[in-house]
Structure 1
Amino acid sequence: MTNPPMRARLWAEFLGTFWLVLGGCGSAVLAAKVLSDDPTPVNMGIGFVGVALAFGLTVLTGAYALGHLSGGHFNPAVTIGAFAAKRIEAGAVLPYIITQVVGGIAAGGVLYLIASGKDGFAIDGTAAGSFATNGFGDLSPNGYSLMAALIIEIVLTAIFLFVILGATDKRAPAGFAPIAIGLALTLIHLISIPVTNTSVNPARSLGVAVFNPAALAQVWLFWVAPIIGAVIAGLTYKFLHAEVPGEEELVRSSAVEDTAAHG
């Protein structure tokens, strides 16, 4: 199958990552907490369960809308894991990652402008999760250590990549990958929001951390851990699903080319 032009693929990655950060982080910044002084349930905010669902929905909708163009990675870790599994060509890896980072920061900027429209808005660099940032130690929502953050981000990113690679495998049922991937990302957030505020996506972490210097100092972990997890998953998946001798090698342009799935 012929890949779409690289320009179209990169625009898809920009828009998809922008949507993921705006939708997911935006739900945390704008809607997670009490919406007004009225204590009725309708004004109590969506909470971290709602935020988890928002991240899953951004991936699901973005994958269906844009996955047929770029594979719908929307995440540098997904791109690197896909490369490790030989699902994307080497020449596309760096352009994808740069585009994803730009899309994430652009979404963070738009979110900052929106949030600044409310009187009294300020990013508290000493508060865990301020402006939907990720962190460990004092910046972990429940005070988890660097080691705990490192482990959970590696493990959950690896599992996320396994779901992506499995759901988009040529042997998997076609057309359902975005649903599996979106639900997996929702579950991942339900598990790890209390620990790190959930990253598993370096572009998502950096996109909001650039507006919070305290979180920016810790963002290195949310690059290192997801990349380690993604490489582990990509190499392991390729090993476990080795091609039958003589079968034509499967080299697709993305983790989701056939089923319009994520990232």
Structure 2
Amino acid sequence: MAGGQQRGNKWKNHFVAASGEFVGTFFFLFLAFSCQLMAFEQAGDQAANGSISSSTAIYISLGFGMSLLVAVWILYRISGGLFNPAVTFALVICGQLPPLRGLLLFPAQILGSIVAAALVSCILPGDIKATRTVLAPGMSAAQGVFFEMFLTAFLVITVLMLAAEKSKDTFMAPIGIGMALFVAELAGVYYTGGSLNPARSFGPCVAAADFNTSHWIYWVGPLLGSAIASGYYRFVKYFDYEEANPDQDSAGADEIV
């Protein structure tokens, strides 16, 4: 009887966590897509090559970074606040998330992105197709893959070191994660669209019923970035990184009773 109840509780917890990932991914991307669509609708200051200007890129970056920051802070106690298949993949291969939980969170994240893009398309004027992630003029597919890989690695190592790796500063992790996405978007919005998240790229393509030929980049690049960040995380954990720079989390002698 106890074993059956335990299994029931496990599936209940998986369901609740998946619901948190759906809700969090939805609100994160609903707000971010809305910001991006508004920026494109109002931006008269395009760059000379017809692409977005730096001021538009900054606004879009701020929309994505702050939307993620708030969504993670609200929902991290329910599901961990991942909202990204690349982050989920990293936590699974680092042993921070059970594989079964990862498999259940993945479709919740994808569905949250699709619903967010579809509702933005229905509610707001403008073409949701504009929010797809595409390469800038002059960017090759190989350049796009590697750029997305390194940007995602930066975001994922932030999640691993601030959230997965527990310390007295863990409760502040949502701020670090949101700021990491903001900085990565500043670099990436112009060149690749700044995906760092397969769900973020997939949702608008479904809502627009139009997959660009370079869409595969936004799966391969982020997943490679997750693998790189996870490898480095395992490396520093294996060699007890705390010993390399000790007492960084110390409260100080004046706070020791």
* TM-score interval (norm. to shorter): 0.7 to 0.9
Cα distance in 1, alignment partners of residues 147 and 208 from structure 2? 23
Cα distance in 2, alignment partners of residues 76 and 172 from structure 1? 27
Match of 1:224 in 2: 220
- Structure 2 counterpart of 1:30, from 35, 38, 41: 38
- Structure 2 counterpart of 1:12, from 20, 27, 37: 20
Greater helix proportion = 2
Equivalence map 1:246-257=2 (5 Å) = none
Q: Is the 8 A contact 2:21 2:79 kept in 1?
A: yes
Deviation string 1:215-239 (CA, Å, 9 cap, x unpaired) is 4432211011101110121122012
Cα distance in 1, alignment partners of residues 23 and 41 from structure 2? 27
- Relative contact order: is structure 1 or structure 2 higher (C-alpha 8 Å, sep ≥ 6)? 1
Larger CA Rg, structure 1 vs 2: 2
Match of 1:165 in 2: 160
Cα distance in 1, alignment partners of residues 177 and 236 from structure 2? 20
Match of 1:135 in 2: 134
Q: Is the 8 A contact 2:24 2:75 kept in 1?
A: yes
Match of 1:241 in 2: 237
Q: Is the 8 A contact 1:32 1:51 kept in 2?
A: no
Instruction: Say whether residues 1:76 and 2:77 are aligned partners.
Output: no
SS of match in other structure, 1:232: helix
Q: Is the 8 A contact 2:152 2:196 kept in 1?
A: yes
Deviation string 1:128-178 (CA, Å, 9 cap, x unpaired) is xx4211123xxx3x4411111111100111111111111121135231100
Cα distance in 2, alignment partners of residues 57 and 157 from structure 1? 17
| Residue identity matched to 1:79 | T
Cα 1:213–1:106 change in 2 (3 A) is closer
Deviation string 1:40-99 (CA, Å, 9 cap, x unpaired) is xxxxxx722111011111111111110001000000000001112111011111111111
- Structure 1 counterpart of 2:76, from 67, 74, 87: 67
Match of 2:196 in 1: 200
Q: Is the 8 A contact 1:28 1:132 kept in 2?
A: yes
Structure 1 segments (4+ residues) deviating >6 Å: none
- Structure 2 counterpart of 1:92, from 93, 98, 101: 101
Cα distance in 1, alignment partners of residues 223 and 107 from structure 2? 15
Cα 1:213–1:109 change in 2 (3 A) is closer
Aligned residues: 220
Cα distance in 1, alignment partners of residues 75 and 199 from structure 2? 18
Q: Is the 8 A contact 2:82 2:88 kept in 1?
A: yes
Cα 1:238–1:105 change in 2 (3 A) is same
Cα 1:33–1:112 change in 2 (3 A) is closer
TM-score (norm 2): 0.79
Equivalence map 1:106-145=2 (5 Å) = 106-115=115-124, 118=125, 121-122=126-127, 130-136=129-135, 140=136, 142-145=137-140
TM-score (norm 1): 0.77
Q: Is the 8 A contact 1:23 1:58 kept in 2?
A: yes
Match of 1:146 in 2: 141
Give the CA RMSD over aligned residues. Answer: 2.2
Cα distance in 2, alignment partners of residues 106 and 73 from structure 1? 17
Cα distance in 2, alignment partners of residues 209 and 217 from structure 1? 11
Match of 1:181 in 2: 177
| Residue identity matched to 2:166 | K
Q: Report % sequence identity.
A: 28
Q: Is the 8 A contact 1:134 1:205 kept in 2?
A: yes
Q: Which runs of 5+ in 2 are unaligned?
A: 1-8, 45-54, 241-257
SS of match in other structure, 2:194: coil
